[in-house]
Amino acid sequence: MTWFKYYRSSAEHHLRSKPLIWIYWLHCLESAAWKTHDVFWDQQEFCLEQGSFITSMQRDSTKNGISIAAVRYARKVLTKCDMIEVTTTNKGTLIKVNQWKEFQKKQEEESASTPHATNNPTTNEEQTSDKRLTTTEEGKERKEGKRRKRITTAAPEYSEAFEKFWKVYPKHEDKAEAFELYQEIGPSQEKDLLKFAFAYAAEFSRGRKRYAKKAKYILRNAEWFTWMDENKPAPNPEAPREESKPPATGLSSLSAYTMMAKNKCPDIDPKEIRKAFDQGVNISELIEYQKHIAEETTHD
């Protein structure tokens, strides 16, 4: 078991009255590595510095019993107060507690500056400390030449649904943070999110792409849903229905009109047929007129 120092002066800290932030701050102190060591992270060996730890938004939420939104807010406040540094990747989040070495000095370092009044025999505490040191050294010797144990601290891979969303979305920046927000929305909204991505990409295409928001901003606080609601296509107003009436010509197409006219009046000029059709002359009137013209010509 390892330990960390918790000062009485913490009771007067300006964030002490913010329960959720303080819970997360204690979580950072509890999770920070007590010494620098190598871990297996992001498919390779990674040197985890003293005072740092690797985590994810979901893991912190579950462990501390607070919402993901509360975790995000706590990280933001503690970062602004220069208490932690947060580095987000697609394999998880690296958090560093600032000034860890200064506040967590070993007991021996502090007592070294204070001279002892008497040369007392070795106490039980010192014997226990020596035993612990010996055990640690022996453990190191046993591990020599053996393969380092893999520590599974990596966050899950991007989901297939998110990759589809990301491929369509017009701006590809801060993917890891966008993925965390995407996960918060939940799988029930995946289809709607993909529809949003297509609509947003169509709105901010080509020259307008630079004006598109980063996904990590528009996925926050359901802003994407608001955008979809505000940009719905206007419904087409239905044209007033009119009573269906047959065309004035008596036939709906020019070809049928021409065929009927040619059948009754073989010598009729096609130009006359087209002119009569365009003027809306009824086919029967056109035939009667052509017959009348033919009879007058015969009498002459």
Q: What is the pLDDT of residues 186-229, one digit of tens each?
A: 888 899 999 999 999 999 988 888 888 999 899 987 888 888 88
Whether the model pTM is above 0.95 = no
Instruction: Please indicate, yes or no, whether residues 87 and 10 belong to a single structural domain of this protein.
Output: yes
At 268, list the tokens. Answer: 């009729």
* Pair (79, 219) in one structural domain: no
Tell me if 170 is assigned to some domain.
yes
Same-domain check for residues 265 and 194:
no
Q: Are residues 203 and 77 in the same domain?
A: no
Q: Quick one: 95 and 204 in the same domain?
A: no
Q: Which position has the higher pLDDT, 3 or 143?
A: 3
Cβ-contact 68, 78 below 8 angstroms:
no
149 shares its domain with 293 = no
> What is the 8-class DSSP label of residue 14?
T
Same domain, 151 and 180: no
Residue 85 and residue 214 in one domain: no
Question: For 6-15, 39-48, 206-215, 228-237, which range has the lowest pLDDT when averaged over its residues?
Answer: 228-237
For the chain, give the mean pLDDT: 77
pLDDT of res. 88: 84
Q: Is residue 213 part of a domain?
A: yes
48 contacts: CB under 8 Å, gap ≥ 6: 33, 36, 37, 38, 39, 41, 54
Asked whether the predicted pLDDT for residue 149 surpasses 50, the reply is no
Q: What is the pLDDT of residues 248-258, one digit of tens each?
A: 666 678 888 88
| pLDDT value of position 240 | 52
Assess if residue 176 is contained within a domain: yes
For residues 4 and 91, membership in a common domain is answered with yes
- Give SS3 for 98: coil
The per-residue pLDDT for 229 is 85
Distance of CA 18 to the CA centre of its chain: 28
Do 17 and 165 belong together in one domain?
no
Number of domains present in the structure of the chain: 3
Report residue 164's pLDDT band, with 50, 70 and 90 as the boundaries.
very high
Residue-number span of the structural domain to which 218 is assigned: 160-230
On whether both 198 and 267 belong to a single domain, the answer is: no
120, part of any domain? no
3-class secondary structure, 286: helix
- Does residue 110 surpass a pLDDT of 70? no
- Establish if 139 belongs to a structural domain: no
Around 297, how many Cα atoms within 13 Å sit in the side-chain half-sphere? 7
- Going 201 to 203 to 209 to 212, the CA torsion angle's sign is negative
Q: Do 283 and 169 belong together in one domain?
A: no
| pLDDT > 70? residue 84 | yes
H helices of the chain, where? 19-31, 57-64, 68-80, 100-103, 107-112, 124-143, 160-168, 175-185, 190-203, 215-218, 223-230, 254-264, 270-278, 283-299
How many Cα atoms occupy the beta-carbon half-sphere of 86 within 13 Å? 23
